[in-house]
Amino acid sequence: MVNALNLLTDESVSSPDDEVVIVANSAGVRMFVSATAANPEMVNNLLDQDVSLRACQNALRGMGVTDEELLTGVEGVPSGSGELARLQNEGYGYIKAP
């Protein structure tokens, strides 16, 4: 999430019209679950900057978590990998964050 914040503030690579989407899959979805989010303030900061946050429902289901347990503003998507493929097909770039 820090990478996304850095990207948004770096005028050499972004503009105010850019759309940023963070798609979490596997264990990464924990950062968007109310009970396990390590930094909900950063999530809110990203949402305040109009970053779209999406969590893989396959991963959530595997952990026994429902969409209702996601932090407010986070959207569940059927498949994290599928969402990445769809976004790339629409012209979005992909940056993998650790």
| CATH code of the domain in which 72 resides | 3.40.1260.10
Find the mean pLDDT for residues 8-33: 89
Find the mean pLDDT for residues 29-58: 96
Answer whether residue 45 is part of any domain.
yes
Answer whether residue 96 is part of any domain.
no
Nearest to 53 by CA among 33, 35, 82: 33
- DSSP, collapsed to helix, strand or coil, labels residue 46 as helix
Q: CA 55, CA 69: separation in Å to the nearest integer?
A: 11
What range does the domain containing 38 cover? 19-89
Q: pTM for this structure?
A: 0.90
CA angle 3, 77, 21 (to 5 degrees): 25
Answer whether residue 31 is part of any domain.
yes
Q: How many CA atoms lie within 13 A of 78 on its CB side?
A: 3
What is the model's pLDDT at position 57? 99
Answer whether residue 54 is part of any domain.
yes
> Could you tell me the pLDDT band of residue 4, with boundaries at 50, 70 and 90?
confident
What is the model's pLDDT at position 12? 82
Query: Token digits for 57?
Result: 């429902």
Q: Residue 10 above 90 pLDDT?
A: no
> How many domains are contained in the chain?
1
